[in-house]
Amino acid sequence: MPGTAIRRSSSTMPRGARAAFRSRRMCRTRFVQPRFVVNFRTGATGCSIPTNCVAEIADTGLQQGQGMHGGFGRGDTLNFTAAIGPDFRAGFVDPAPVSNADIGRTMMHLLHLEVPTNGRLMGRVFAEAMPGGEMPRFANHVRVSKSAGGLRTMLRFQTVGRMRYVDAAGFPGRTVGLIVQQNRSGR
């Protein structure tokens, strides 16, 4: 029947099919790092804050304003987070990186909820924004690939402890947030 999903229990399958079913099911839950990542070209459209007015060039039929999942340009990765209330410092501007995953972990902390960690993408409590909270140590990093036909892929990210926060990735000069770096000879 069209549109009907049939779920078959592995216990009613023949022995060989059960092994294949378990094998496929286990493969779907395993985290695999990609061999390559596609990033769309981005450019600032001319406003005073380039990350607030980014145009993304992509091979899609979507019209302007119809939305995208984004890319790795700084206009897509920059995260504005604001918090107000007695649990947060008034007027505090956090220089440390913060992600959406950190918001959930911080809310659980404030509500005194213990949630077990399931994997590595759990976020951190941004305690530095709370009264008496200490500023965490964080560092900026840049990785640049070897040249492939004159192009180099660049990755800018920050770390707080073991947490990694991507700032921008792609080709310098073709991705907002990545600046073309000249070598020592000025080229």
Q: In the chain, which residues have pLDDT < 50?
A: 1-29, 184-187
Q: What is the residue extent of each domain of the chain?
A: 41-170
Q: What is the per-residue pLDDT for 12?
A: 43
Q: What is the per-residue pLDDT for 14?
A: 44
pTM: 0.71
Residue type, 52: N
Q: In the numeric block, which tokens belong to residue 6? A: 């049939």
* 75 touches 52 (CB < 8 A): yes
Q: What is the per-residue pLDDT for 182?
A: 58
Q: What is the per-residue pLDDT for 150?
A: 80
Phi, psi (rounded to 5 degrees) for 110? -65, -30
Q: What is the per-residue pLDDT for 70?
A: 75
Does an H or E element contain 150, and which? none
